[in-house]
Structure 1
């Protein structure tokens, strides 16, 4: 039982700590103040919110205890390590935990002054809140990094909510056109099949990369594994939140996946890292798709109509040769035109002859490259890729008709295809329980305990997806009856260019 004892002119509170030792705190003016404080500590012990006043630890010391105890995905641990080492410890590493508790405004100020985007700053503070939350109640009584409800400008919160709800997604026709463009940029049918699979299954990017031949059966895709990229390597793990699930596959998707020839990757990892196996979706050289490379080379140009800029070069529009019809085959990128400045197309040996330069050059009809003309306006023999081009005595070929791809779905990401699959199911009247299973989500509460997808639900889904697919093909055929992508060209033939 707590009691008070006189210490000179002041009083000291005494109470029994959880470890059985007597704890104390001095400096009280009256006996009643000391008794009240001691009884408060006993109440905190009963409520498991007690903080030992003798315990003292810096944030760095606590991180060295907390971080090794985590059992999380490798990618999550890597994100935590980044925020802790780059943003949190340089500012608060030498602070004692109690000092943070009495100065929460310092954490708010730190978040606002971080030289990063607002989203990254919020994630850094969330990481700090997570690590401090586990220090309660031994070292802290409250979490100074936790965000208090009702604080901050309401307008900012509403803007953040609106931005989250404005996620860009693709309709079935947009997904089809996007898949066609990706295939044209890569020169393979595989990228077409990859995008269509993402759009019509709602699978996550890492789950698509982890698809193996054994996961594909007639009418069913078994989503059991994922491949996640981390620092240039890939580790194999279970889907997010353990969402192992079947994904019903309509006949048209079975047909597309049946055209894929599995390859064996070149990974040689150990443990969780990919050690090498057969997968459906790999690059031409047998490597796994890296999200950033796939986005920069195929997805962003296909969705935005522009190649993304880098530190070394500016963004450029996607130029296409439309001599073969819609939507045109991509040609080497040119710099973008600038207002009030004369545009100068690339010139010189080796550049494709795309416009009339009127400078003594012409496009060779044999190798299709720009070369110098003879005095009589014909082409001389010249070096070309793969050997010597005869080209002598021939007149230059006509200029290539050029166009630029217009934006398809500006800002779309691979995850946006997953967002687009949800409206497909909503519009088709697919039951919520089957939707949750297909997206890898858990149905909360008792409804999730007793609800199960039925065959009737699956039949509704398998009837709706082919209908949406055929409608998208018909709309695409209305734009042009043929396609430069071999697999799509074959699929368009039954529609004959007419909307049905």
Structure 2
């Protein structure tokens, strides 16, 4: 029970903390004021609002060292937190006490990161990590989280701009998804790449869920998205999908046929991952298994490599700038080969007003007279594999699929009472399959109008199977840009 004791000309409040430790707060002018303060602390303990006065004097570094090992998060999230604390947060605030941290200082630090040349998102992520840590210190050690951003503060238009940018997220039409998948398959020389891209587009699966798709999870009219395969520091670990969104996704007949043919085609289905000496670190590393989509060497696709070398060139028509010394370059093809042409080694682009000189020297390819040179036009700049997930839900919206069925396909929870009383029926799933099949056939017909054949065998077979398909004709070039002789990118 709280009490007050005299200390010279002043009074000190005494009370028992949550762990039974006798706590104190000196400096009160009267016994009544000291006793009231002690009783208020006891009331805060009962209401779970108590702030430990000694804990508030703890250094942030000490708090983080106690907080971080107790986290139960994805290994990739933990790795991201570790980087943000070690590089940005602790060098600045590590020796500050929890009670000394203020919203003003933290805001100035965040702005300073941007001024120093870091991306706005990096600065925001660093503040978010600090906020997550301090949130768990409330209310035991500090009464409020100084790193939390208050709503309605900051630039008035920032939230509106963020909302508009989110609404403008790039997504693909069925024809655009097909054209990008075709180009990606031409770049890799593998039917599997085409089927993988189309699978993302027509199931709405996440990238990590595609990587974790195993042959036994592919059924006659559906696929089970029960696992994810995340990349961390060049290795992969297996876990359940984001937010536990395990689901069975209805698939259209054409995709069922593509997947079954792919699994039976003899491509590598067993990954080359192997156990390592230090695999007892608690991370569920992949140590070998059966997966539907692997590289030609039997390894898992790395997100960055797939994006820079395959997906970005296919969608943008340009190879992205990979370093300050390697500029952005157009995708060049020999369109004397079947559509969309045979990719050639990249060359730097021509510059307006300057005479183009082809790169010379050892290892540089030469364009012979037999090469019909062209460069790919963009299909949908800025599209990402995750952007295809946005397109998938948009297709379902346009086709009038009930919201509860869309949410089940996407792995989203339906909020409120609607989520409790609404159920997905077989009729809804049949409507999804039929709507997606119609979209595929329409995209095939639109693709056939560009060229009746394809350099990708699995797509070429689909084009030949279209009703009324014509015999193979010379490849048309309406989707190419034809450079002048000696100017591969003008």
Which TM-score applies when normalising by structure 2?
Answer: 0.88
The SS at the match of 1:24 is strand
Q: Once the two structures are superposed, what CA deviation does each residue of 1:431-456 show, in whole Å capped at 9, x if it has no partner?
A: 11111111111122232233221111
Question: What corresponds to 2:303 in structure 1?
Answer: 291
Question: What corresponds to 1:113 in structure 2?
Answer: 112
Distance 2:318 2:120 in 1: 26
Q: CA deviation at 1:34?
A: 3.1
Question: What corresponds to 1:201 in structure 2?
Answer: 203
Change (3 A) 1:174 1:495: farther
The SS at the match of 1:11 is strand
What is the aligned counterpart of 2:287 among 275, 278, 282?
Answer: 275
What is the aligned counterpart of 1:405 among 376, 382, 392?
Answer: 376
Q: Once the two structures are superposed, what CA deviation does each residue of 1:239-294 show, in whole Å capped at 9, x if it has no partner?
A: 11111111112110011112213521110135611111121111111111001111
Structural mapping, 1:363-442, within 5 Å: 363=368, 398-442=369-413
Structure 1, 50-59 or 122-131: larger mean CA deviation: 50-59
Q: Does 1:266 align with 2:281?
A: no
Q: CA deviation at 1:18?
A: 2.8
Q: Does 1:327 align with 2:340?
A: yes
Question: What corresponds to 1:81 in structure 2?
Answer: 82
The SS at the match of 2:254 is helix
What is the aligned counterpart of 1:162 among 161, 164, 175?
Answer: 164
Distance 2:67 2:316 in 1: 43
What is the aligned counterpart of 2:216 among 214, 217, 223?
Answer: 214
Change (3 A) 1:333 1:495: farther
Distance 1:497 1:318 in 2: 29
Distance 1:92 1:85 in 2: 11
Q: CA deviation at 1:15?
A: 3.4
What is the aligned counterpart of 2:237 among 216, 235, 238?
Answer: 235
| Conserved? CA contact 1:207–1:227, under 8 Å | yes
Q: CA deviation at 1:74?
A: 0.8
Distance 1:64 1:229 in 2: 25
Distance 2:332 2:20 in 1: 78
- Aligned residues between the structures: 454
- Give ranges in structure 2 of 5+ residues lacking alignment: 471-490
The SS at the match of 2:157 is helix
Change (3 A) 1:33 1:183: same
Q: CA deviation at 1:90?
A: 0.8
Distance 1:274 1:20 in 2: 47
| Conserved? CA contact 1:353–1:399, under 8 Å | no
Distance 1:63 1:228 in 2: 26
Distance 1:351 1:428 in 2: 50
Q: Does 1:480 align with 2:451?
A: yes
The SS at the match of 1:143 is coil
Question: What corresponds to 2:38 in structure 1?
Answer: 38
Distance 1:16 1:476 in 2: 77
Change (3 A) 1:109 1:495: farther
Distance 1:282 1:21 in 2: 59
Q: CA deviation at 1:322?
A: 1.5
Question: What corresponds to 1:300 in structure 2?
Answer: 312
Question: What corresponds to 2:257 in structure 1?
Answer: 255
| Conserved? CA contact 1:477–1:495, under 8 Å | no
Structure 1, 65-74 or 342-351: larger mean CA deviation: 342-351
| Conserved? CA contact 1:4–1:12, under 8 Å | yes
What is the aligned counterpart of 1:471 among 417, 433, 442?
Answer: 442
What is the aligned counterpart of 1:453 among 424, 435, 443?
Answer: 424
CA RMSD of aligned residues (A): 1.9
Distance 1:84 1:424 in 2: 41
Q: CA deviation at 1:344?
A: 0.5
Distance 1:178 1:290 in 2: 18
Structure 1, 324-333 or 43-52: larger mean CA deviation: 324-333
Q: Once the two structures are superposed, what CA deviation does each residue of 1:111-134 show, in whole Å capped at 9, x if it has no partner?
A: 111142111111111111111111
Which TM-score applies when normalising by structure 1?
Answer: 0.87
Question: What corresponds to 2:28 in structure 1?
Answer: 28
Q: CA deviation at 1:35?
A: 4.0
Structural mapping, 1:335-346, within 5 Å: 335-346=348-359
| Conserved? CA contact 1:474–1:495, under 8 Å | no
Distance 2:320 2:19 in 1: 61
What is the aligned counterpart of 2:128 among 122, 126, 142?
Answer: 126
Larger radius of gyration: 1
Q: Once the two structures are superposed, what CA deviation does each residue of 1:16-65 show, in whole Å capped at 9, x if it has no partner?
A: 43344443222223445434433432332222111122333211111111
Question: What corresponds to 1:192 in structure 2?
Answer: 194
Question: What corresponds to 1:386 in structure 2?
Answer: none
Change (3 A) 1:495 1:343: farther
Q: CA deviation at 1:352?
A: 4.5
Distance 2:41 2:364 in 1: 81
Q: CA deviation at 1:99?
A: 1.4
Distance 2:285 2:30 in 1: 65
| Conserved? CA contact 1:235–1:274, under 8 Å | yes
| Conserved? CA contact 1:11–1:26, under 8 Å | yes
